[in-house]
Amino acid sequence: MKIYTEKTQIQKAIKLFKDKNLSIGYVPTMGALHEGHLSLVEEAFKGNDVVVVSIFVNPTQFDNKKDLKKYPRTLEADTRLLESLDKDILLYAPTVEDIYDNKTVAEHFSFDGLEFEMEGKFRTGHFDGVGTIVKKLFEIVLPDEAYFGKKDFQQLQIIKKLVEKYHIPVKVIGCEIFREANGLAMSSRNARLKEAYKMESPFIYETLKTAKIKFGTESASKVTTWVEKEFAKHELLKLQYFIIAAEDTLKPVKIKSKNNTYRAFIAVYADEIRLIDNIALN
């Protein structure tokens, strides 16, 4: 597997495939790869001739600089994990300078209000950073299809909006959440969980599954109150938010409609590690 560290290198390699009319699938990551990332790569290979994976810890999407510093950078281990798939992957692992040309600032975007819901209320400027890096990477890689996990469902909807508003010719595909055996949504952050919190973390998904059942017969506000009470009783896990929202607008539900598709979103602190998850409700 060849590793490209400069955009001019990866663009030259991709052009050779494009000239042969081969389709490009793309999986952008921030590294610290796990089985969930590999599942995205596998999906990309199902629909495309060539797959590009990028590893880049994007500074402009971190509202907390301590988080940026702590974020694991494990390129060697990531490379070995990708090589275990035994497929011809193009790996793009650029520097901040290569991506941002020494101007590490985020563009400002309007995502028609999607950016102000849920994560947007707690992470100032986060989605401007996401929009900035995804737009840059799409312009470099020029993929036919790009693959993202539904664990970051709000991010997925925002990237779809970015593509729509900027007329970027790429199909954005959301892939199902890949979970640990205990139900915890796979995340690079999970490796930092202390043992006691790791043992208790399945409570998050179990609560989501029960909330889904309750939503079949109860109002969104009743389900939300139940979830809040369940976490208030929990000794270790601290609920930051639980929201039931329409999938298209991400706005919290007031009155259920048969014509809408709903999803429950949750953010929980396990000590200093912040875990997010979600579940489709109908």
| Ordered strands of the 24-29 beta sheet | 3-4, 89-92, 50-55, 24-29, 145-149, 171-175
CA 260 – CA 247 distance, rounded (Å): 8
Average pLDDT, the chain: 96
| pLDDT score at 65 | 84
Which fold does the domain 188-280 belong to in CATH?
Answer: Pantoate--beta-alanine Ligase; Chain: A,domain 2 (3.30.1300)
| pLDDT score at 236 | 98
Q: Which residues are annotated as a binding site for beta-alanine?
A: 61
Longest dimension (CA), the chain: 60
Q: Which residues are annotated as a binding site for (R)-pantoate?
A: 61, 155
The catalytic residue among 37, 108, 126, 234 is 37
The tens digit of pLDDT for each residue in 148-158 reads 999 999 999 99
Q: What percent of the chain has pLDDT over 70?
A: 100
For residue 235, list its beta bridge partners.
none
Would you list the domain boundaries of the chain? 3-175, 188-280
Active site residue 37: yes
Answer yes or no: same fold for 3-175 and 188-280: no
| pLDDT score at 190 | 93
| pLDDT score at 53 | 98
Identify whether the C-beta of residue 237 lies closer than 8 Å to the C-beta of residue 203.
Answer: yes
- 13: confidence class by pLDDT, cuts 50, 70, 90: very high
The tens digit of pLDDT for each residue in 60-99 reads 999 888 889 888 899 999 999 999 999 999 999 999 999 9
DSSP 54: E
| pLDDT score at 118 | 96
| pLDDT score at 63 | 84
Mean pLDDT confidence for 9-16: 98
pLDDT at residue 275 is higher than 90: yes
| pLDDT score at 66 | 86
Q: Which residues are annotated as a binding site for ATP?
A: 30-37, 149-152, 186-189
Give the number of other Cβ atoms within 10 Å of residue 213's Cβ. 11
Mean pLDDT confidence for 108-115: 97
| pLDDT score at 102 | 84
- 125: confidence class by pLDDT, cuts 50, 70, 90: very high
Amino acid at 156: L
Q: Of the candidates 14, 19, 100, which has an alpha carbon nearest to the alpha carbon of residue 57?
A: 100
What is the architecture of the domain spanning 3-175? Answer: 3-Layer(aba) Sandwich (3.40)
